[in-house]
Amino acid sequence: MNRFTKGCKKVLNKFLDIIFPEDTKCIFCKDEIVNFSEKPYCEKCEATSFNTGNKCIKCDTHIKEGNIICDHCKSKQRKFEKCLCPLNYSGEVRSSIISFKDSNAKYLAKSYAKIIFKYLKDKNLNFDYITFVPSHAKTIKRRGYNPSEILAKELSVLYNKPCIETLLKTSPTQQQKNLTFEERTQNLKDSMIVTNSKLIKGKNLLLVDDVITTCATINYCSILLSTYANKIFATAMARNHLETEKMF
Ligand SMILES: [Zn+2]
Ligand SMILES: [Zn+2]
Measured from the alpha carbon of residue 46, the closest ligand is 1
Kindly give the distance from the C-alpha atom of residue 232 to the centroid of ligand 2, in angstroms, as a whole number. 16
The dihedrals phi and psi of 212, each to the nearest 5 degrees, come to -110, 125
Measured from the alpha carbon of residue 40, the closest ligand is 1
DSSP 90-122: SHHHHHHHHHHHHS--TTHHHHHHHHHHHHHTT
Name the pairing type of β-strands 87-88 and 238-239: parallel
pLDDT level of residue 6 (50, 70, 90 thresholds): low
Q: What is the pLDDT of residue 38?
A: 85
Kindly give the distance from the C-alpha atom of residue 31 to the centroid of ligand 1, in angstroms, as a whole number. 6
Q: What is the mean pLDDT of residues 152-178?
A: 93
What distance in Å separates the CA atoms of residue 68 and residue 54, rounded to the nearest whole number?
8
What distance in Å separates the CA atoms of residue 220 and residue 233, rounded to the nearest whole number?
13
Kindly give the distance from the C-alpha atom of residue 210 to the centroid of ligand 2, in angstroms, as a whole number. 17
Kindly give the distance from the C-alpha atom of residue 147 to the centroid of ligand 1, in angstroms, as a whole number. 22
Kindly give the distance from the C-alpha atom of residue 211 to the centroid of ligand 1, in angstroms, as a whole number. 19
Choice among 15-24, 128-137, 147-156, 192-201 with the minimum mean pLDDT = 15-24
DSSP H/E element including 44: helix 43-49
The pTM assigned to this predicted structure is: 0.89
Kindly give the distance from the C-alpha atom of residue 238 to the centroid of ligand 2, in angstroms, as a whole number. 14
Percent of the residues in the chain that have a pLDDT greater than 70, as a whole number? 88
The hierarchical CATH code for the domain 53-247 is 3.40.50.2020
Q: What is the pLDDT of residues 180-202, one digit of tens each?
A: 888 888 889 999 999 999 999 99
Q: What is the pLDDT of residues 67-78, one digit of tens each?
A: 999 999 999 889
Kindly give the distance from the C-alpha atom of residue 32 to the centroid of ligand 1, in angstroms, as a whole number. 8
Kindly give the distance from the C-alpha atom of residue 135 to the centroid of ligand 1, in angstroms, as a whole number. 30
Domain regions of the chain by residue span: 1-49, 53-247
pLDDT of 4 > 90? The answer is no
Measured from the alpha carbon of residue 29, the closest ligand is 1
Measured from the alpha carbon of residue 43, the closest ligand is 1
Q: What is the mean pLDDT of residues 124-143?
A: 95
Choice among 118-127, 175-184, 212-221, 230-239 with the minimum mean pLDDT = 175-184
Q: To the nearest whole number, what is the mean pLDDT of the chain?
A: 90
Q: What is the pLDDT of residue 95?
A: 96
Measured from the alpha carbon of residue 69, the closest ligand is 2
DSSP 38: T
Q: What is the pLDDT of residue 89?
A: 96
Q: What is the pLDDT of residue 179?
A: 83
Measured from the alpha carbon of residue 59, the closest ligand is 2
pLDDT greater at residue 144 or residue 5: 144
What distance in Å separates the CA atoms of residue 11 and residue 149, rounded to the nearest whole number?
35
pLDDT level of residue 111 (50, 70, 90 thresholds): very high
